[in-house]
Amino acid sequence: MQKINYLSDNYFYLAGPVNQATGGAVGTDPVSCVLRLYNERRQMRTAAFETRLVAAASSAENSVSLPKMDPLVLAVGDSLRFINSKSFSKTLAITGITPGTFSDVYALSAVMADDFEAGSRVELSFQASGGSYFMFELEPKFEVGETITPQHGATHQTGLVEQKREIEFTQSDGTSPATKSIDHPNYWAVKSGTPTSSACYPNTVIRVQLGGDVAMASFGSFPAANAVGGDPTWGFRGLVSSTHPDIVLGQDVRAEVDYDGGVNSKLTISSRAKVLEDFS
């Protein structure tokens, strides 16, 4: 584990990066090479979100009624998996949402293909790109105004938390006032100010980023031949300033270096660090 000296300037290094395809040193002028710091103790995974049918749906129907949600966390393009009492399942995409007085009607990409009873489970398979909400089973560790980063595989994207609240589910049989759905799982919703650029699946890791991206510059002499991976005399380095606003004494930090040299030349390296005072 690395040490970050509190109230000091700290350099982070990508030492001797080698292109595994060619065996040679990477270029000194990549598309980007940045350092990102995350709060290691405040990352969370999105929930395996589920709800239930308000009314039965026959095999020939291509729409269903679901509880009203406040906030409405589902959107057109999201994929839902329906499961009935016979354990038959059908996965369909949402093509439209029509708000109702007692429940909301979701148009689907195809017919149900089997009968589904009222109360049948409905699981979220994935959220389509362009969504803004992330759902959690426990109260999120994020606060309004903080920068969060969903880890969509190779896609890096940040957004400010605009809203955090528990989701309210209400429904009715259409003959009485809407009431809170009973025996329904509880979820929290976090709204990001930046719509996602790729699909988001359950158990996606959401992290709190400490400050913005830190640009890393090349240093040393990059060898033209016989490059040795990990050579500390050349590579890239980035400075985390002593005045970094989000570095706190005792903090556990994940440091992530992201090098993008173009097609077939990308590298991401992570390490852990602890913020400590220097008594030397």
SS3 labels along the chain: CEEEECCCCEEEEEECCECCCCCCECCCCCCEEEEEEEECCCCEECCCCEEECCCCECCCCCEEEECEEECCCCCCCCEEEEECCCCCEEEEEEEEEECCCCCEEEEECCCCCCCECCCCEEEEEEECCCCCEEEECCCCCCCCCCEEEEEECCEECCEEEEEEEECEEEECCCCCCCEECCCCCCCEEEEECCCCCCCECCCCEEEEECCCCEECEEECCCCCCCCCCCCCCCEEEEEECCCCCCCCCCCEEEEEEEEECCCCCEEEEEEEEEEECCCC
Average pLDDT estimate for 192-202: 90
pTM across the whole model: 0.82
Residues 9-40 pLDDT 10s: 999 999 999 998 888 999 999 999 999 999 99
**CA–CA–CA angle 46, 50, 55 (5° rounding):** 160
Q: How confident is the model at residue 66 (pLDDT cuts 50, 70, 90)?
A: very high
Average pLDDT estimate for 46-64: 95
Percent of the chain whose predicted confidence (pLDDT) is above 70: 94
Amino acid at 91: T
Cβ-contact 222, 17 below 8 angstroms: no
On the question of pLDDT at 182 being above 80, the answer is no
Question: For residue 146, which of 256, 43, 4 has the smallest C-alpha distance?
Answer: 43
**Domain ranges, ordered by start, for the chain:** 2-41+209-276, 50-203
pLDDT at 155: 59
Average pLDDT estimate for 173-201: 78
pLDDT at 176: 54
For the domain made up of 2-41+209-276, give the CATH fold.
Answer: Immunoglobulin-like (2.60.40)
Average pLDDT estimate for 63-81: 95
Residues 213-262 pLDDT 10s: 999 999 999 999 999 999 999 999 999 999 998 999 999 999 999 999 98
The overall average pLDDT reported for the chain is 91
Q: How confident is the model at residue 173 (pLDDT cuts 50, 70, 90)?
A: low
Residues 83-140 pLDDT 10s: 999 999 999 999 999 998 888 999 999 999 999 999 999 999 999 999 899 999 999 9
